[in-house]
A = this chain, B = another copy of it.
Amino acid sequence: MSKILIVEDEMPIVDLISMGLKANGYKIDYALDGEVGADLIEKNHYDLILLDIMLPKFDGYELLEYAKGEQIPVIFITAKGELKDRVKGLNMGADDYIVKPFEMEELIARVNSLLRRFKCTISLPNIKINTKTHEVQKEGLKVSLTPKEYDLLIYLIENAGNILTREQILASVWDKEMEDTRTVDLHLARLRKKLGLENVIKTLPKVGYLFEV
């Protein structure tokens, strides 16, 4: 389920958008000003941001810059007539815009389309994964993973926040029963090393592993 952040200072509009998107299966957070927005972006992972330009605290452009730094797709919300804003927004890297007042259908269509355009990438702090090409980047640099490593990584991410026993991992990634070798440990070690995940993949002694979110 994709998570969307709405940054918009008019609560009625937030409600409206939020309602429409929730009905379409999206998970919504919102911020009423830029500061809270930046904060939320930093603390959470969003798949898309809906951004009003006219914001209290700091304006939409700053937030846009921030969001693009995180490579999150952004749809700009602009008032009618604010052509300048739209141009500036798109030039700064916004991926689409929508003009107030807008139809909910249109918004949803644009959100769906943009997510489709973007969704082939999983982003974690420092790490980016292109699920289409299996390309993995660490701090912008390509890291080449073997298929097993890649599978393991995806499995860990899918189960991020859950404790995984070696048996579970072995069963899911290797399709094997109980084994009494260091295989799982070994591959986890390689992942940790290659991607600098020493502090993200936690070892729970006598229990298993945990990919922290």
- Footprint of B on A, CB under 8 Å? 15-16, 18-19, 22-23, 25, 83, 86-87, 90-91, 96-97, 117, 132-134, 146-147, 161-163, 204-207, 210, 212
Contact = CB atoms under 8 A, between A and B. Distances in A.
A25 B73 CA distance: 13
Contacts of A134: 163, 204, 207
A18 B133 contact: no
Given A18-B90, A163-B134, A147 B206 contact: yes
A147 B207 contact: yes
B25 A132 contact: no
A206 to B, nearest CB: 4
Given A25-B117, A207-B147, A132 B19 contact: no
Contacts of A90: 18-19, 22-23
List 5 A-B pairs, minimum CB-CB distance, nearest first: A15-B87, A147-B206, A22-B90, A19-B90, A19-B87
Contact of A163 (B91, B117, B133, B205): B133
Contacts of A91: 15, 18
Contacts of A146: 205-206
Given A18-B87, A25-B117, A117-B25, A162 B132 contact: yes
A161 B133 CA distance: 6
